[in-house]
A and B are shown apart, each in its own frame.
Chain A
């Protein structure tokens, strides 16, 4: 019997009550969020449960919403149930002033480098990560480039003026 979004939602609500909220289904993929302290508990439940078995972390990334005060950084986990072929998206929100999230490396080894990338680009501090340092950018970089306030362009170029290049 196939695992439907209704079943997953029912099980989550039964276990966590109102700690899991904002259930949506964009393009058929169940999406929900929870407070940032609950992220490991929710993922552990999704991992261990006999029926749910979401044991594959497809992606771990962050999104910066500068307008949502106190909840600017959304850390998004994409989980996949390989046996029933069901995908699910799980979000936790953190404020940009204190972006501390518990690390998922003990549960998923793939989270190791993905969390390093999220730290490198958004500044999310993963508490308990074995090696949280920059992975794709140069080590000397002193800012987090994907936050919306920083421009895309390299600022050391002197020959391109803003008017000509539409900046």
Chain B
């Protein structure tokens, strides 16, 4: 015997009139017919709103990613509409799912094939730390083979959480210095993973 419906009995139609999100202009000096700002800001703005992700979907988190890409939790709103499956063409490597120790070198190869600037997002518990699979065959976190920028916890994380992680990546991309990839500290970081 079903209980009577308590919520959402008279659903409200979404009011989409005038509700277009626009990206804020970076700080700069405006004049008649010109706008001067830092190259960093403009490049960051362009990059963050048109990220091309590479979905490295291995298991259940991949399904949550599919839900995130679908219309309800649209990832395309954030500019990540064009997913590439070739690392040569993508900037964001989203590792979603359990990575086995045998898969580690392959994942590293995929990362090496990406061109700078590149970011990595570890989606889910298994990619972040091995998850519930504390076993001899599962890599306990992809940060053992590649440097990771954002970790999204969850098993699996809800699509909203994946979007939150993506927004954090966008913040990182927008604020990143253009000289970062040539800096000593970055080179040391890559060196610690054995990547030249």
Contacts and interface: CB of A to CB of B under 8 A. Distances in A.
A50 to B, nearest CB: 44
B102 A154 contact: no
Contact of B137 (A145, A150, A160): A145
- Most chain A C-beta atoms within 10 Å of own C-beta, residue among B136, B137, B140: B136
Contacts of B102: 136-138
A152 interface: yes
B137 A136 contact: yes
Interface string B100-131: 01100000000000000000000000000010
How many interface residues does chain B have, given as a range? under 10
Contacts of B134: 152-154, 157, 160, 165
Contacts of B99: none
Contacts of B10: none
B135 A152 contact: yes
Interface of B: 101-102, 130, 134-138, 140
25 contacts: A136-B102, A137-B101, A137-B102, A137-B136, A138-B101, A138-B102, A141-B136, A145-B136, A145-B137, A152-B134, A152-B135, A152-B136, A153-B134, A153-B135, A153-B136, A154-B130, A154-B134, A154-B135, A154-B138, A154-B140, A156-B140, A157-B134, A157-B140, A160-B134, A165-B134
